[in-house]
Chains A and B, each alone.
Chain A
C-alpha cells in the first residue's frame, strides 16, 4: 500500500550535506500499522512527512496505492491521507464539529452527509456528538483533544493515515487508554497506518510491523516478534532494551503457550485448580501477566481458565522454556 524505494532526503546545512533519510526501502501492507521508531533526529518524522509531500524527497520513489506520489497534485494527495500530529493541531477558531468536518468540507461533501459522518466518528471515539458539537478545542482535555485529532483525520475515510507521535504528549495512563481505543477502532476501519513513535513499548503494542531507524538509515524492519527475538545488530538490541525477552511475552497469550506445550504433555488432570493451589490465568491474557501469576503462585503453576472461568489446562514456569530461549531460572531476574 505504501512503498518506499531508495528514498533519500538531503538537507543543506551550511556547506555540509546532511542525509536525514538515506536510501530507505520499505513496504507497508494494506491494513497494517507500521511503526517508525528510533532516537530523535533519526529521520523517522522526515520519512513520514515525505508521504504527504509536506517534505519533498531528494531522491527515490514513494508510492501510495501503486501511484507515484510525485505524479499527484500535492493538495489532492494530502486530502486523501489522514494526518495526526502530536500537538493535535486542532484549529482553535473552530468548534469541534467544524474541526472534524474540515476535510469533508474541503472535498465539497453535502451538509447532511458531513453531519452524519461527524456523529458516526464521535460515536466511534466514544464521545457524545451533541455534547461536543459547539465546544472549542481549549475546553477539552489533552486526551479528548487527541481523540478529536484522530476523528478529524478519519473524517473523509482515507485509506492511508500518517500519525506523528499522536499520543506522545499524554500522561501514561491516558496514553495507554488511547492506544487500546486506537487498536479497537483500527480493527473496524483497517487503515494502512504509518505511525511515528519514540516509545518501544508503544511500538510493540500497536505495530504490525516496526521499522527501526538510526541516523537516517533503516536498521531493521520486521514484526515486533521478529525484532524482539532476533535483533539484527547491536544498535537494535540496545534500542529494544535488555528486557526484550520479557517484552516479547507481551505479544503472546497463554493460548500460544498451551499450544506449544500440548505436544509434550500427555496426561490430563481432573482438577487443575486444586493442583495449582488456586492460582488461575485466563487463556487470552498475555504471557507477561501469566508469568507474574506463576511467580507468585506457591506451586509455581497456574490453572488456565476459559472465558466462563472453567479450568481446562495448566501452565508452569518450566513451560516457558518451550517458548523462549532462556532458562526458567533466569525468568525471576528478568521480572525484577
Chain B
C-alpha cells in the first residue's frame, strides 16, 4: 500500500527532524544553560503554570456560566451580541490584547493574569454557547414534554450533550493561553517567556531554548492530557461525534 509507505515516510521524517534538532542543539551546547540553572527553570516553569492555571481557571469559571446564562430562553434574544463580541475579540491578536491591557493597568503580575483571563474567556464562551445551541431541539422538547424542570433540562440534557463543545473550547483556550503566557513576561508577568526574550535580546541560543523547549513541551503535554480528560468526561453516547 503506497499510503502506508507515505505514512511511514512522514512519521520517520518527523522523528528524524526532532531527534536531529535535539542532537544538534546538544552538540551546540544549548542545553548547558538548563543544566546549569535548574532552579531558575523550575521557578519560571512554576510561575508560568500559575499564570496559566489561574487565568484559565477564572476564565472557565466566568465563561461557562455566562454561556449558560445567555442561552436561557429569556436572554436568547441577546446571544448574538455576545457571540459577535467573542468573535471580534478573538480576531484581535493576543499581543495587542496584552499591550492594550498593559497600557491601562500598567506592568505587573495582576495585569498579566487579567489579560490572559480575558483572552482565554472568548473561545470557552463561544463554544459553550454553540454547544448548548446545537443540542437537538427535539431532545429538549422531549425532556420538557416528559416533565423535566428547566434545571433538570440544563443538567441532564443540555450540559451533557454540549460537553464535547465546551471541553474542546476549554482545551483550545488553555493551549493558546500557554503560548500567550510566554508573552506575559513583556508586561511583567514572568514565566518562561523570560528565558526566550532574554535569549533573543542577548542572542544566546542556550537561554532561548531553555524557555522555548519547555514551553512547547508544556503546550503539547497539556493538549494531550486535556484530550484524554475529554474522552473520559464526555458521555459515552456522544463519542461517535468526536471521531
In the complex, what distance in Å separates the CA atom of A118 from the CA atom of B149?
23
Contact call A78/B145, Cβ cutoff below 8 A: yes
Known: A85-B141, A91-B157. A102 touches B238 (CB 8 A): no
Is the C-beta of B144 less than 8 angstroms from some C-beta in chain A?
Answer: yes
Known: A91-B139, A92-B139. A79 touches B147 (CB 8 A): yes
In the complex, what distance in Å separates the CA atom of A92 from the CA atom of B236?
9
- Which residues in chain B, 145-162, are within 8 Å of chain A measured between CB atoms? 145-149, 152, 156-157, 160-161
Query: Which one of B141, B145, B235, B240 has the highest number of Cβ atoms from chain A below 10 Å of its Cβ?
Result: B145
Known: A89-B138, A92-B161. A103 touches B235 (CB 8 A): no
Is the C-beta of B142 less than 8 angstroms from some C-beta in chain A?
Answer: yes
- Which residues in chain B, 182-196, are within 8 Å of chain A measured between CB atoms? none
In the complex, what distance in Å separates the CA atom of A80 from the CA atom of B148?
12
Contact call A137/B237, Cβ cutoff below 8 A: yes
Is the C-beta of B53 less than 8 angstroms from some C-beta in chain A?
Answer: no
Contact call A83/B161, Cβ cutoff below 8 A: no
Contact call B152/A89, Cβ cutoff below 8 A: no
Contact call B161/A106, Cβ cutoff below 8 A: no
Count of chain B residues with a beta carbon within 8 Å of a chain A beta carbon: 23
Chain B 127-150: CB-based contact to A (< 8 A → 1; otherwise 0): 000000000101101111111110
- Which residues in chain A, 76-109, are within 8 Å of chain B measured between CB atoms? 76-80, 83, 85-95, 102-103, 106
Is the C-beta of A263 less than 8 angstroms from some C-beta in chain B?
Answer: no
Contact call B237/A89, Cβ cutoff below 8 A: no
- Which residues in chain A, 108-145, are within 8 Å of chain B measured between CB atoms? 136-138
Q: Shortest distance in angstroms between B158's beta carbon and chain A's nearest beta carbon?
A: 10
| Neighbouring A residues of B157 by C-beta, 8 Å | 91, 93
| Neighbouring B residues of A22 by C-beta, 8 Å | none
| Neighbouring B residues of A54 by C-beta, 8 Å | 141, 144-145
Q: Shortest distance in angstroms between B122's beta carbon and chain A's nearest beta carbon?
A: 26
Contact call B145/A83, Cβ cutoff below 8 A: yes
Contact call B237/A77, Cβ cutoff below 8 A: no
| Neighbouring A residues of B238 by C-beta, 8 Å | 92-93
| Neighbouring B residues of A79 by C-beta, 8 Å | 146-147
Contact call A85/B147, Cβ cutoff below 8 A: no
| Neighbouring A residues of B152 by C-beta, 8 Å | 106
Contact call B147/A103, Cβ cutoff below 8 A: yes
| Neighbouring A residues of B147 by C-beta, 8 Å | 75-80, 103, 106
In the complex, what distance in Å separates the CA atom of A153 from the CA atom of B146?
8
| Neighbouring A residues of B144 by C-beta, 8 Å | 54, 78
| Neighbouring B residues of A103 by C-beta, 8 Å | 146-147
Chain A's closest residue to B162 (CB) is A93
| Neighbouring A residues of B138 by C-beta, 8 Å | 85-89
Is the C-beta of A52 less than 8 angstroms from some C-beta in chain B?
Answer: yes
In the complex, what distance in Å separates the CA atom of A77 from the CA atom of B152?
16
Contact call A138/B149, Cβ cutoff below 8 A: no
| Neighbouring A residues of B143 by C-beta, 8 Å | 89, 91, 102
Q: Which one of B139, B149, B236 lies within 8 Å of A89 (CB-CB)?
A: B139
In the complex, what distance in Å separates the CA atom of A3 from the CA atom of B21?
80
In the complex, what distance in Å separates the CA atom of A52 from the CA atom of B237?
29
Q: Shortest distance in angstroms between B133's beta carbon and chain A's nearest beta carbon?
A: 16
Q: Shortest distance in angstroms between B55's beta carbon and chain A's nearest beta carbon?
A: 30
In the complex, what distance in Å separates the CA atom of A80 from the CA atom of B157?
20
Q: Which one of A85, A86, A93 lies within 8 Å of B237 (CB-CB)?
A: A93
In the complex, what distance in Å separates the CA atom of A80 from the CA atom of B146?
8
Contact call A75/B237, Cβ cutoff below 8 A: no
In the complex, what distance in Å separates the CA atom of A256 from the CA atom of B161?
54
| Neighbouring A residues of B145 by C-beta, 8 Å | 52, 54, 78, 83, 85, 89, 162
In the complex, what distance in Å separates the CA atom of A190 from the CA atom of B146?
20
Q: Shortest distance in angstroms between B128's beta carbon and chain A's nearest beta carbon?
A: 16
- Which residues in chain A, 197-255, are within 8 Å of chain B measured between CB atoms? none
- Which residues in chain B, 213-243, are within 8 Å of chain A measured between CB atoms? 235-238, 240
In the complex, what distance in Å separates the CA atom of A88 from the CA atom of B160?
18
In the complex, what distance in Å separates the CA atom of A73 from the CA atom of B23?
73
In the complex, what distance in Å separates the CA atom of A137 from the CA atom of B139?
12
Q: Which one of B142, B163, B236 lies within 8 Å of A91 (CB-CB)?
A: B142
Show 12 A/B contacts (Cβ-Cβ < 8 Å), sorted by A.
A54-B144, A75-B148, A78-B145, A80-B147, A86-B138, A89-B141, A91-B143, A91-B156, A92-B139, A93-B161, A94-B237, A106-B146
Which 6 pairs between the two chains have the least Cβ-Cβ distance?
A89-B142, A79-B147, A78-B147, A136-B237, A87-B138, A83-B145
A85-B138, A138-B237, A152-B146 provided; 9 other pairs, C-beta below 8 A?
A52-B145, A75-B149, A87-B136, A88-B138, A88-B142, A89-B139, A91-B156, A93-B237, A103-B146
Binding site for B on A (CB under 8 A): 52, 54, 75-80, 83, 85-95, 102-103, 106, 136-138, 149, 152-153, 162
